[in-house]
């Protein structure tokens, strides 16, 4: 009986964590600063993305990039990708890269 109850609590906790994460600060930052080019789902399926040659985060090439490489691109920019070093803290960039990883799993 006790075991079942803790299992329920545990399951609920596990289920709530990604939900909270999805609506966390990284998600809203992504929505306000990145989604216009990368698309809300990161797949770059927007007219702006097509015009600018934005890569899909869900592509094999993007998945292969290391966190350090993605972090460098967010901070320093690359091609038409703007640099965000002056606007975002190191922690925010780290959270955004982690958020991009969640988009790659969808």
Binding site for ligand HEC (CB under 6 A): 33-34, 36-38, 52-55, 61-62, 65, 70, 73-74, 78-82, 84, 96, 100
Which residue number, 16 or 89, has a Cβ lying nearer to ligand HEC? 89
What is the tally of helices (H) and strands (E) in the chain? 7, 0
> Rounded to the nearest whole angstrom, what is the least distance from the CB of residue 87 to ligand HEC in the complex?
8
State the Cα–Cα distance between residues 43 and 63, nearest whole angstrom: 12
> Rounded to the nearest whole angstrom, what is the least distance from the CB of residue 4 to ligand HEC in the complex?
42
State the Cα–Cα distance between residues 88 and 23, nearest whole angstrom: 18
Which residue number, 1 or 47, has a Cβ lying nearer to ligand HEC? 47
> Rounded to the nearest whole angstrom, what is the least distance from the CB of residue 6 to ligand HEC in the complex?
38
């Amino acid at each position: 009986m006790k075991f079942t109850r803790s299992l329920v609590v545990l399951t609920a906790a596990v289920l709530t964590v990604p939900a909270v994460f999805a609506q966390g600060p990284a998600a809203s930052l992504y929505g306000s600063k990145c989604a216009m080019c990368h698309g809300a789902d990161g797949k770059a399926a927007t007219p702006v993305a097509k015009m600018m040659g934005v890569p899909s985060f869900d592509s094999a090439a993007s998945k292969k990039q290391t966190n350090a490489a993605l972090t460098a691109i967010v901070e320093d920019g690359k091609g038409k990708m703007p640099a965000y070093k002056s606007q975002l803290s190191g922690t925010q960039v780290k959270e955004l890269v982690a958020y991009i990883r969640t988009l790659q799993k969808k």
